Structure formats: structure tokens, C-alpha cells
Amino acid sequence: MLGYLARRLAMTIPTLLLVAVAVFTLVRLIPGDPVQVMLGDNADAAQAAQLRAQLGLDEAFPLQFLHWLGKVATGDLGHSITNDLAVLPLILERFQVSAVIVLVAVAAATCIAVPAGLIAAWKQNSALDLAVIGSATLLLSIPSFWLGLLLLLLFGLKLKWLPVIGYVPFSENFWQAAVFMLLPIVTLTVLEIGVLTRMARAASIEVLRLEYVTHARAKGVPEWLVLGRHVLPNAFAPIWTLIGLVLGHLLGGIAVIETVFTLPGLGRLLVDSIFARDYPVVQGCLLFTAVIYVVVNLIVDLCYPLFDPRVVVA
């Protein structure tokens, strides 16, 4: 187990190195100069040159990369060009916001989608199945900003049940934080239910066709037990894979939801930094996202034996 873990972690190093090269290069290929964005339309050449030198942007590209990589190796992702804040603490602070929303939403979506998919599979081709799969497809098609705004207008503006804007960290006031987080979490949950329901249904249908299910039914095992003990555990492995992918994807930032609900999360930080051409923050966010992806998938892989005894981590 430890050997497997070490091997997997070692394998991430070349991946992250490749990501670092790609991120550093691609960010600089985007047209636009951070110095000009900072100085605006009335900057003179002397001011621009002074700021460029101060930010180290006047150095040759490979030199800039090596400097950055050297710092990254020591855990220093540099400082933001726009506000001079250290990038890593900034990312970690913003990640906490995104992580809470994503983890709660994905957990809630899983709790709803897996039973829904299982029941739809069990009642395949019935009206219930049609309703579940239809709803899932509908949810999959809804753009996140539209749903977010709709919920905001309904619960915030029309009914005035929930606040429209603002954010309170959980460390400050748990209940207030929960109130502010409710709508973004509900939005993301609703959106993720669609994809997870479809996967749960497809995986369950496959398992329901297998011989041991037929055998269990022939023995007279009650249907709820067949579904709960034989179908669900065996269908859960592909769902778990999907959950891993979804988590990896969402933890990298839910920029649209964060923007609509004015939450200071990682996604908004990344988008704002791209518009400001804040290279160190963009690089840091993307590298951090890559690390999160790798870590989440590693955890998913390590958890496989829990759902499928045939998988051995060694």
C-alpha cells in the first residue's frame, strides 16, 4: 500500500512539471500585458518600463520560468502582480470557500442521484424511469449562471428568505455562513444530480442484468435487499470514478457560481487574475488545480477496494 502510494506520488512529479511548463507558456501567449492593464490608458513608456522591471517581466522568458520553478520547488508560488499578496496563502484562503461548496454539493447530489438512478434502473422503461431520466437530462442542460440567477431572484428577491449577496466564513459565524452558502450549494447540487443520476442508472442497469442478481431473486431475496446488497455496491465503482472526476473538476473552481453569488472562491480568483493578466496568480491557481486533480484521483483509486474487493492496491 505504501509502496503504491509512493509510486503514484512519484508519477505526479513529471505530470506537474509538464503542467508547469504548459501553464507558464500558455499564460504568456494570451495577448495583453499585465503592466498595461495595471497602468491603464494613460501610462507612459517610462512608467511601463519601470513597473515591468520591478515585476521581473523584463527578463528573458526561460529565465523567468527558471526563477519561478525554483521558487515553486520550495513551496513559494510568488506574489500577485496586482496586489503583491503571496499567491499560495491567497489560493488556500480562496480554496476553502470553493471546497466547502463543492464537497457539500457533491455529497448531497450523490445522496439524491444514486438512489434515483438505482430506482430508475430497477423500474427501467417505466414512467418513473422516464421521469427520472428526463429530469436528469433537463438538469444537465441548465447553465449554472441561469439557475443561480433564477434561485437568487426567487429566494433572495421575491421571497426574501435568503441573502442575495455577501459571504461570511464558517470560522466567523457558522449559521450565518450556512445561510450565505445555501443557494450556491443548492445550485451546484441540482446541476450535479443530472450527471450522477445518469451514471447511477446506467451502472445499475448493467448490474441488474448479471446472473448473481437473477440468482438472488430466484432464491427469493426481497427486492430492497437485492438492490441494497447486490446491485448498489457493485454499481458504485463507476459512480465513484465519476465522483472523483467531478470533484477534481469542480474543486479547480466554480467561477460562474462564485461570480453570481459574489463568493470569494478559487474560480473567481482565477478568472479575475486572467482578466488582469496577473501571471503569478494564474500560474499558481492552475498548478494548484492540477495538484488537486491528482490528489483527488489518487484518493479515489485508494478507495476502490472498499467498493470492489477484486481491486487490490499494491
Partner 1 sequence: MTRARRPSRTTMVGLVALLATLAVVAHANAETLLRTRLNADIRSTDPGTNRDANTDGVMAHIVEGLVAFREDTSIGPMLAESWTVSNEGKTYTFRLRQGVKFHNGAVMTVDDVVWSLKRWLDPATQWRCLSEFSASGIARIEQIEAPDAQTVVVRLDQPTALFLPTLARPDCGQTAIIHRDSVGPDGKWIAPIGTGPFKLAAWKRGQYIDLARFDGYAARSEPRNGYTGAKIAEVDRVRFNIIPDSSAAKAGLLSGSLDVINSLAIPDLEDLKSRPDVQLSITPALGLTGILFQTRDPLLKDVRIRRAIALCLDTTQIVDSVMQGTARPNNSALPIGSPFYGEVQAHGYTQNIAEAQKLLAEAGYHGQPIKLIANKRYSFVFDSAVLVQAMAQTVGINIEIEVLDWAAQLDRYNRGDYQSMSFVYSARLDASLSFEMLMGPKASQPRKVWDDPEAQEMLRQSMMTDDAAKRQALFDAMHRRFIEDVPMIVLFNGAELAALRKNVKGYAGWLYPQPRFWGVSIQ
**Side chain identity at residue 262, one-letter code:** T
Nearer to partner 1, 154 or 313 (CB): 154
Give the x/- contact pattern for partner 1 in 242-261, rule: CB under 8 A. Answer: -----------------xxx
Using the contact rule CB under 8 A, the part of the chain among 19-27, 32-40, 120-128, 233-241 near partner 1 is 32-40
Cβ-contact 223, 110 below 8 angstroms? no
How many Cα atoms are found within 13 Å in the side-chain-facing hemisphere of 149? 7
Establish if 101 lies at the interface with partner 1 (CB under 8 A).
no
Distance in angstroms (rounded) separating the CA atoms of residues 279 and 81: 7
Q: How many CB atoms lie within 10 A of CB 253?
A: 25
Which H helix or E strand runs over 96? helix 87-122
Q: Which of 7, 10, 41, 224 binds partner 1 (CB under 8 A)?
A: 41
Please state the φ and ψ torsions of residue 79, each to the nearest 5 degrees. Answer: -120, 145
75: left (phi over 0), alpha (psi -120 to 50) or beta: left
CB of 197 to partner 1, least distance (A): 29
Nearer to partner 1, 12 or 262 (CB): 262
Residues between 54 and 83 that touch partner 1 (CB under 8 A): 54, 82-83
Residues between 111 and 170 that touch partner 1 (CB under 8 A): 149, 152-153, 156-157, 160, 163-167
Binders of partner 1: how many residues, by CB under 8 A? 49
Using the contact rule CB under 8 A, the part of the chain among 48-56, 120-128, 190-198, 208-216 near partner 1 is 48-56
Q: Which of 7, 10, 29, 44 binds partner 1 (CB under 8 A)?
A: 44
Using the contact rule CB under 8 A, the part of the chain among 232-240, 245-253, 273-281, 294-302 near partner 1 is 273-281
| DSSP helix/strand/coil, 79 | strand
Distance in angstroms (rounded) separating the CA atoms of residues 126 and 120: 8
Q: Which of 20, 119, 268, 270 binds partner 1 (CB under 8 A)?
A: 268
Burial class (CB in 10 A: 0-12, 13-18, 19+), 101: buried
Distance in angstroms (rounded) separating the CA atoms of residues 136 and 149: 20
Site residues (CB under 8 A) for partner 1?
Answer: 30-34, 36-48, 50-51, 54, 82-85, 90, 94, 149, 152-153, 156-157, 160, 163-167, 259-262, 264, 268-269, 272, 275-277
